[in-house]
Amino acid sequence: MNVLMVLTSHDKLGDTGEKTGFWLEEFAAPYYTFKDAGATITLASPAGGQPPLDPKSDLPDFQTAATDRFKADAAANKALANTVKLDSVSADDFDAIFYPGGHGPLWDLVDNPKSISLIEKAYYAGKPVGVVCHASAALIHAKAQDGTPLVKGKNVTGFSNSEEDAVQLTDVVPVLLEDALQEKGAIYQKGPDWGSFILEDDNLITGQNPASSEAAANAILGRLA
């Protein structure tokens, strides 16, 4: 079982002067969900090398058993520091693709041609494609085989407008996921803010927020079982 995890390489939070990147829990929980199931995991990012960590995700309030495990795992840290370049991987080599979130994907994965191609090829091949939180941005410009938006008519979720408002970044982010997905014809749904909520539609698996990352990874495993 080969799983590709795609992380952001973007570290600037708009024009705020603050840093962003990937959200630690959204990487760590799925990583160990896949690893403990026996998966071979490949980590990739647009620039390769060490992806930027959103510093807020490293604050004490956001630590979990998975993030603690990651911090003590030298092999996992080495793997993360050496992600392969996204343009070097092929969807043919993997059984599933998973995108952790963090605000970074809103800038460098929303319209990345290689990422879009990966998602489309995996989806067309019937392989599970999972995204969580802001990584739902990676789906916005993907297309179905008939040229319509991939998410059109599909039940999907992602970081909600109310959650973006709660973290006071509504006017900072380049795209509001709830609105952007609906504009592409998606049937956007959400659960309570900050609670675990995932949707499965065909082989597309979407999670709303950090709390949804482990459930999304488990849903992928369910498809691969």
Return the pLDDT at 198: 98
Mean pLDDT score, 128-132: 98
- What is the Cα–Cα distance from 40 to 137, expressed in whole angstroms? 25
- What is the Cα–Cα distance from 92 to 95, expressed in whole angstroms? 8
Return the pLDDT at 30: 98
Residue pair 213/207 in contact by the 8 Å Cβ criterion: yes
Q: Are strands 187-188 and 84-85 parallel, antiparallel or unpaired?
A: unpaired
Entry pTM: 0.97
Tell me the pLDDT tens digit for each residue of 63-122. 999 999 999 999 999 999 999 999 999 999 999 999 999 999 999 999 999 999 999 999
Tell me the pLDDT tens digit for each residue of 138-182. 999 999 999 999 999 999 999 999 999 999 999 999 999 999 999
Tell me the pLDDT tens digit for each residue of 23-75. 999 999 999 999 999 999 999 999 999 999 999 999 999 999 999 999 999 99
Domain count, the chain: 1
What range defines the domain where residue 7 resides? 2-224
For residue 101, how far is the Cα from the chain centroid?
Answer: 4
Return the pLDDT at 127: 98
Task: Please name the residue ranges forming H helices in the chain.
Answer: 24-36, 65-71, 74-81, 105-108, 113-124, 161-166, 177-183, 213-224
The fraction of the chain above a pLDDT of 70, given in percent, is 100
Mean pLDDT score, 193-202: 97
- Give the CATH number, domain containing residue 125: 3.40.50.880
Say which amino acid occupies 179: D
Confidence of residue 202 (pLDDT cuts 50, 70, 90): very high
- What is the Cα–Cα distance from 217 to 26, expressed in whole angstroms? 10
Residue of 220, 183, 203, 192 whose CA lies nearest to 100: 220
- What is the Cα–Cα distance from 98 to 217, expressed in whole angstroms? 8
Residue pair 183/190 in contact by the 8 Å Cβ criterion: no
Residue of 177, 182, 181 whose CA lies nearest to 164: 177
- What is the Cα–Cα distance from 150 to 207, expressed in whole angstroms? 17
The fraction of the chain above a pLDDT of 90, given in percent, is 100
User: How is residue 175 written in tokens?
Assistant: 């795209």
- Between CA 155 and CA 162, with CA 159 as vertex, the angle to 5 degrees is 110
Instruction: Report CA-CA distances (Å) from 72 to 54, 76, 78, 120, 155.
Output: 19, 9, 11, 35, 37
Residues 6+ apart with CB under 8 A from 56: 62
